[in-house]
Amino acid sequence: MKGYLGVDVGSVSTKLIVVDDNLNVLTSIYTSTAGRPIEMLQQCLRTIQPDLDSKLEICGVGTTGSGREVASVIVGADIVKNEITAHAIAASHRVPDVRTIIEIGGQDSKIIILKDGIVTDFAMNTVCAAGTGSFLDHQAARLGIPIEDFGSLALKCEEPVRIAGRCSVFAESDMIHKQQLGHSIESIIAGLCEAMVRNYLNNVGKGKDIRPTIVFQGGVAANVGIKAAFEKALDCEIIVPEHFGVMGAIGVAILARDHAKKTGQTKFKGFDASEFDYQVRSFECKNCSNLCEVIQIYQNGELAARWGGRCGRWDTL
Amino acid sequence: MKITFPHMGGVYIPLRTLFEELQMEVVVPPFNNDEMKSAGCKYAPEYSCLPFKLILGNMLHSLEQGADTVIMLGGSGPCRFGYFGHLLDMIARDLGYRFTFICLEPSTLPRDIGRFKKAAGCSYRAFISALRLGWAKLEAVDTLEQRYWSCLPYSHDGNRSKSILHGGVERITECTSISGVKRLTAQCLEELERLSPRSHSLPRVIIVGDIYTLNEPYSNLGIEELLARHGIETCRSVYTSIWVKNMLLPWNRRAYYRKAKAYTRGYLEDCIGGFAIDTIYHAISFADKGFDGIVHIFPVTCMPEIVSSQILQKVSAKKRIPIMSLTIDEHMEKTGMETRVEAFAELLHLKKTRP
C-alpha cells in the first residue's frame, strides 16, 4: 500500500499528515512547534509511525510552512512548496468550487482568491500579527479560559461588546476596561471575535473580491466564535473542512503524490530520520559587505544542507 | 575636504566619479547591510521609514570614518523625504559630529551648487565635465541593470550573467571617459543578450513603489532576484537616471506629469507627494503594454504609497492584472518574502499557460 507524507512546519505549530493514493487521511498530528522545529518534527515522525499499517510504504514527501527548508532536509522531501499554494491545493481538492480561502494560523493570516481552482489573488499579513492564533491564545490565557472553550463561549452571547482589535496590547487594555464596566466574559469574548474578523477583513481582506464558496481553515478555524463572526460579517455560510488544521500539509501531500506518480521515486529518509542527530549552525559571511547569514544543517555531524548566501559561494556543499 | 553621501543602488558610482574628478577625497559607505540598518534604527525616530534609517546608518558610518562634508538631496514635496536632510543633520549634530552639510534643494539648487563649487575650489568647466562623466555612468549602470533583470530569467548560466553585470559595473566605475563608458555598456549588453536567448516567453512584472525601495536592493530584500529565480522578468517603474532626467528640467517635468495624469485620470487626479502618481501611472501603462503582473513594494508608514496601494486594487480589478503588495520594514524577514514571491510567481506562470 502506498502513502504520502505532508509536513507543515509553521512558526507556532507543526503538522504532519499521511494520505493514501485516494488522498484519504490515514493519520495526522498537530502539535506546538515550541520553538524547536527539528526536535518537534522528529518527535512527530516517531508518534505517527505506530499509527500506520506496517505494509504502508511512503512513496512521496512534501514540506511547507515557514520551516519548509529545514523540514525538507530532515525528512528528505520531494516537494518543497510555499504555504499559500499548499493551502489552495488542499482547499480546492476538498471543496472543488471554492472561491475564497480564509486561512488563519498561529502568526500568519492569509486570504486566497481562486477561480476555477486556480489562485488569482492572495494577500498575507505583513508587519503585524494582530488577529492571528497567537493573539487569541494570549487573550484566552489572560482570561483564564482554555482556548478550546473560547469559541463556544462566544456563541452564548447575544450582544457582543465592541473591542479595539487593531493592536493586541490595546485590545487587552480595552478588554480589561470592559470587564471593569461589568460586561460578561461571554460578551467580551464575542466582541473579541468580531474585532478579529473586522481587523482581518480590513487588513488582509482589504480590496479583495470575497465571494462564496468560502472555506475557513488553519488552526483558528477550530474557533466556532470566529467562524460565526465571519458568517455575520460576510453574510454567507462559511465551510470549515474536516481537516482544517492540517490543510497545508494535505496540500503538499497531494503535490507529493502527483510528483511520485510522475517520477516513481522519493527522497524520503524513512522514519529513522527521527533518530538522526541534527544541528543547525549559522555564521555571518564576511567576504563582502552583504554580510549574509549562512545557515548550515549537520546530520550526525556531517554537513547536510546549507543556504542563506546571496552569491553562489556557498551553494555547493 | 572628505565628502560622503548615502547609498541608493548605483548612485554611488556617478557621485564618486564626480567628486574624484574634482580632486576631492570621497568616503563611500559600505553597501547597505544589517550593520547599517542597526546603526540607523538606533538613532532614527521609530516611525520614520526604512529608507531614512538606512540613509542615517550610512551617514553615521561615514562620519565615523572621518568624512567632514555630507551631501544629500532635499526636496520640498509633501513626502517626508523633504525633511530627511535636515533631520539627518540634527541627529548627527546631537550625537556630537561636526561637519558641513549640503542639502540640495530644488528651489536653491544654483546657490547650493555655487557653495559646493566654492568648497571644492574648482572651475565651472571642470565641474561640468565631471558632471557629464558621472551622468554617463549613472545612465550606463541603470541601462545595464534594466537589461540584466529582463535577461536573467532566460539566462543559460545565471552566475555568468551575474558576473557580467558586476564586472561591467566595476569597469564602468573605474572608467575615465564617456566614450569608454559607452563602449563598455554596449559590450556588456551584448554579452547579456547572447547568454539569454528568448525561445519562449516568461511572465513579466512591473515593480512599482518609491524610488529608494525600488533602486536599493537591500531595502527591497532583493525582490528582483527572488522573482528572477522563479522565472519572472522584471522592470522597475522608476530608475534613478530616468527620474532625474524627467525632473531636472522644467519642460521635461511638465511633459512627464502631463502624460502621467492622462494615464491616472479616474484613479488619482493629482500629485499627492512622493511617488504615488508615478506608481499608479506606471502600473497602468505597463498593464496596457501587456505585462502580466504588478508588484507594489514600499516601506511601512510611507504615506504616498499607502494611498496608492489602495488605488492599485482598482487598477488590478479594471485592468485584470494580478497585484502583490509588500510592505517592508526593518523587521521584515526574507522567509516571509520568499513565500509570497513564490506563490505570486506560480500564479503568474499558471495564468500565462492557462489564460
pLDDT in tens, B54-104: 999 999 999 999 999 999 887 766 678 788 888 999 999 999 999 998 888
Interface touch B335/A120, C-beta < 8 Å = no
For A82, other C-beta atoms within 10 Å of its C-beta total: 24
Q: B313 to chain A: which residues are within 8 Å by CB?
A: 206-207
CB–CB of A189/A154 below 8 Å?
yes
B28 shares a domain with B162? no
3-state DSSP assignment of residue B215? helix
A185 shares a domain with A74? no
Write B239-248 long-range contacts (CB < 8 A, 24+): B239/B142, B239/B145, B239/B146, B239/B215, B240/B8, B240/B9, B240/B10, B240/B11, B240/B138, B240/B142, B240/B211, B240/B215, B241/B135, B241/B138, B241/B139, B241/B141, B241/B142, B242/B142, B243/B211, B244/B138
Distance CA A279, CA B155 (A): 36
Domain hosting B300: range is 201-355
A282 shares a domain with A269? no
Q: What is the pLDDT of residue B78?
A: 61
Q: What is the pLDDT of residue A101?
A: 96
Distance, in angstroms, between B344 CA and closest chain A CA?
8
**For chains A and B, what is the number of CB pairs under 8 angstroms?**
70
* DSSP string covering A110-171: EEEEEETTEEEEEEE--S--TTSHHHHHHHHHHHT--HHHHHHHHHT-SSPPP---SSHHHH
Distance, in angstroms, between B293 CA and closest chain A CA?
11
Q: What is the pLDDT of residue B233?
A: 96
B350 shares a domain with B213? yes
Tell me the residue type at A54. S
* Residue B121 clears pLDDT 90, i.e. is over it: no
Comparing CB atoms, the residue among B33, B317, B347 nearest residue A289 is B33
Q: Please count the residues of chain B.
A: 355
Q: Does A123 touch chain B (CB under 8 A)?
A: yes
E strand spans, B6-59: 25-27
> Cell match 494560523: residue?
A105
B175 shares a domain with B61? no
- Final residue of a structural domain among B122, B153, B185: B122
CB–CB of A66/A10 below 8 Å?
yes
Q: Does A290 touch chain B (CB under 8 A)?
A: yes
- Final residue of a structural domain among B198, B229, B255: B198
A258 shares a domain with A204? no
Q: Which of A69, A70, A84 to mutate to test the interface with B (most CBs of B within 10 A)?
A: A84
* Residue B341 clears pLDDT 80, i.e. is over it: yes
Which residue, among B231, B226, B229, has the nearest Cα to B338 in the 3D structure? B226
B176 shares a domain with B33? no
Q: Which of B298, B305, B339 to mutate to test the interface with A (most CBs of A within 10 A)?
A: B339
Residue B11 belongs to a domain with what CATH number? Answer: 3.40.50
B284 shares a domain with B143? no
Q: What is the pLDDT of residue B265?
A: 95
Q: What is the pLDDT of residue B84?
A: 85
Phi and psi at residue B283, to the nearest 5°: -60, -45
A10 shares a domain with A137? no
A172 falls in which pLDDT band (50, 70, 90)?
Answer: confident
Interface touch B31/A82, C-beta < 8 Å = no
Answer whether residue A312 is part of any domain.
no
> Cell match 565635465: residue?
B129
- Final residue of a structural domain among B149, B166, B198: B198
A121 shares a domain with A234? yes
Q: What percent of chain A lies above the pLDDT cut of 70?
A: 99
Question: B-side interface with A, Cβ within 8 Å?
Answer: 30-31, 33-35, 159, 162, 222, 225, 300, 310, 313, 316-317, 322-327, 329, 331-332, 335-336, 338-340, 342-344, 346-347, 350-351, 354
ipTM at complex level? 0.79
A25 shares a domain with A112? no
Q: A127 to chain B: which residues are within 8 Å by CB?
A: 300, 327, 329, 331-332
Q: Does A83 touch chain B (CB under 8 A)?
A: yes
B324 shares a domain with B212? yes
Q: Does A185 touch chain B (CB under 8 A)?
A: no
Answer whether residue A313 is part of any domain.
no
Domain hosting A201: range is 96-240
Quick one: cell of A33?
512547534
User: What are the tens digits of pLDDT across the range A49-75?
Assistant: 888 888 889 999 999 998 898 899 889
Distance, in angstroms, between B256 CA and closest chain A CA?
29
A128 shares a domain with A207? yes
3-state DSSP assignment of residue A19? strand
Phi and psi at residue A16, to the nearest 5°: -125, 145
* Residue B297 clears pLDDT 80, i.e. is over it: yes
B152 shares a domain with B232? no
Answer whether residue A201 is part of any domain.
yes
Average pLDDT of B291-320? 93
User: What are the tens digits of pLDDT across the range B268-282?
Assistant: 988 888 899 999 999
Which residue, among B80, B305, B327, B280, has the nearest Cα to A203 in the 3D structure? B327
Closest-CA residue of A relative to B31 is: A289
Which residue, among A2, A79, A33, has the nearest Cα to A219 in the 3D structure? A33
A219 shares a domain with A102? yes
B160 shares a domain with B40? no
Q: A123 to chain B: which residues are within 8 Å by CB?
A: 324-325
Least confident of A166-175, B9-18, B26-35, B204-213: A166-175
Indicate the number of domains in chain B.
3
A141 falls in which pLDDT band (50, 70, 90)?
Answer: confident
Which residue, among B251, B302, B305, has the nearest Cα to B283 in the 3D structure? B305
Q: What is the pLDDT of residue B355?
A: 59
Q: What is the pLDDT of residue A274?
A: 76
Indicate the number of domains in chain A.
3
Q: What is the pLDDT of residue B77?
A: 62
Answer whether residue A73 is part of any domain.
yes
Q: What is the pLDDT of residue B239?
A: 95
Tell me the residue type at A231. E
Q: A311 to chain B: which residues are within 8 Å by CB?
A: 162
> Cell match 540613509: residue?
B55
A252 shares a domain with A147? no
* Residue B163 clears pLDDT 70, i.e. is over it: yes
Q: Under the phi-then-psi rule, with left for phi > 0, alpha for psi from -120 to 50, and beta for the rest, what region is A131?
A: left
Comparing CB atoms, the residue among A119, A126, A311 nearest residue B347 is A119
B248 shares a domain with B194? no
B166 shares a domain with B37? no
Answer whether residue A315 is part of any domain.
no
Q: Which of A203, A286, A289 to mutate to test the interface with B (most CBs of B within 10 A)?
A: A289
* Residue A204 clears pLDDT 90, i.e. is over it: no
pTM: 0.86
Greater confidence (B191 vs A133) lies with: B191
User: What are the tens digits of pLDDT across the range A146-166?
Assistant: 888 888 888 888 788 888 877
Q: Does A310 touch chain B (CB under 8 A)?
A: yes
Quick one: cell of A167?
493592536
Interface touch A124/B34, C-beta < 8 Å = no
Which residue, among A264, A220, A268, has the nearest Cα to A16 in the 3D structure? A268
Sheet holding B25-27, edge to edge: B25-27, B2-4, B69-73, B100-104
Average pLDDT, chain B: 91
Average pLDDT, chain A: 88
Residue B234 belongs to a domain with what CATH number? Answer: 3.40.50.11900
A235 shares a domain with A138? yes
Residue A59 belongs to a domain with what CATH number? Answer: 3.30.420.40
Q: What is the DSSP letter of A213?
A: S
Q: What is the pLDDT of residue B273?
A: 85
Q: Please count the residues of chain A.
A: 317
Distance CA B78, CA B106 (A): 14
Distance CA B208, CA B292 (A): 14
B116 shares a domain with B16? yes
* Residue B328 clears pLDDT 80, i.e. is over it: yes
Q: A9 to chain B: which residues are within 8 Å by CB?
A: none
3-state DSSP assignment of residue A17? strand
Q: A209 to chain B: which residues are within 8 Å by CB?
A: 317
Interface touch A126/B351, C-beta < 8 Å = no
Q: What is the pLDDT of residue B136?
A: 96
For A279, other C-beta atoms within 10 Å of its C-beta total: 12
Average pLDDT of A116-123? 87
B48 shares a domain with B25? yes
Interface touch B339/A127, C-beta < 8 Å = no
Distance CA B352, CA B349 (A): 5
Interface touch B310/A207, C-beta < 8 Å = yes
A102 shares a domain with A69? no
User: What are the tens digits of pLDDT across the range B233-266?
Assistant: 999 999 999 998 998 888 999 999 999 999 999 9
Angle at A173 between CA A170 and CA A176, to 5 degrees: 150
Q: Does A85 touch chain B (CB under 8 A)?
A: yes
A284 shares a domain with A271? no
Least confident of A95-104, A210-219, A298-307: A298-307
CB–CB of A228/A154 below 8 Å?
yes
Interface touch B350/A118, C-beta < 8 Å = yes
CB–CB of B219/B299 below 8 Å?
yes
Distance, in angstroms, between B229 CA and closest chain A CA?
12
